[in-house]
Amino acid sequence: MHGNLPALTAVLADVDAAGPDRVWCLGDLVGYGAHPDGCVEMARERCQVNLAGNHDLGVLNRIDITDFAPHAEQAARWTRENSAPETLQYLETLKPSRDGEAIGLFHASPRDPIWEYVLSGAQAADCMDAMEPRVSAIGHTHVASYFGRTDGAMAGGAAAAGTELNIEAGQWLLNPGSVGQPRDGDPRAAWLLLDVEQWTATWRRTEYPVDEAAGAIEAAGLPAGLGERLYLGQ
């Protein structure tokens, strides 16, 4: 969600309409957006699982933010300085991966839950070799996508809004995309509806007031480009 409270609010309204049993957030509750406290509070109340993403860890000074892109580094510093103590305290409790759920949950990848961008079939195959669950959800790339391997054959690619897959057989890596900062050319907030009884995965997109999120970024004195990119989905 990256501190984008208008996007998170809109997505959770759609999630409520879908009626899932559990809600999982794969990390990066903060970073880029101007509402770290609001996003963390809402995620804490509404999500049964929250992971730590690299931006969360950067805000906590647990990883070196000088490795971030300049705007991301600036946003991390701003978030560190402008978040309530209870926001930072909650982020300290989060980890970048989670087991014990119906599927594996990783911020980035099963091989490297913090940093790896899974963008190719070869990477996905290596991750599948390394992961214990048959199906895992990953984030970090900000791109809604999937990779599947059945009988040794790999398939995968971008997942446009409305994409629905039968994942009953084989191994799968499912990326819901980003609620707060999509980077696939579609500015709508992205999320994934997963049925672990029928084993189907459906990618969803939700309209939200981008003007509100971009305006808050500008008002906070964050880099203007962080708001401008929201309109482009980049």
Share of the chain above pLDDT 70, in %: 100
Q: Note the residue count of the chain.
A: 234
User: pLDDT class for 53, splitting at 50, 70, 90?
Assistant: very high
Give CA angle at 183 (131, 137), nearest 5°.
20
d(CA 28, CA 220): 19
Residues 60-94 have pLDDT tens digits of 999 999 989 999 999 999 999 999 999 999 999 99
pLDDT, tens digit (0-9, with 9 covering 90-100), for 218-229? 999 999 999 999
The C-alpha R_g of the chain, in whole angstroms, comes to 17
- Whether the pTM exceeds 0.85: the reply is yes
In tens, the pLDDT along 185-203 reads 999 999 999 999 999 999 9
DSSP state of 3: T
Looking at residues 18-30, what average pLDDT do you find? 97
Q: What is the pLDDT of residues 124-171, one digit of tens each?
A: 999 999 999 999 999 999 999 999 999 999 999 999 999 999 999 999
- Amino acid 87: pLDDT: 98
Q: If you average pLDDT over residues 42-54, what whole number do you get? A: 98
φ, ψ at 4 (rounded to 5°): -100, 90
- What 3-state class would DSSP assign to 159? coil
Helix (H, G, I), strand (E, B) or coil at 36: helix
Helix ranges (H only) for the chain are 5-18, 36-46, 54-59, 70-82, 85-92, 121-130, 210-219, 224-232
* Class of the CATH domain delimited by 5-232: alpha beta
Predicted confidence at residue 108, as pLDDT, reads 98
Strand partners, 120: none
Q: Is 73 helix (H, G, I), strand (E, B) or coil?
A: helix
Are the beta carbons of 43 and 30 closer than 8 angstroms? no
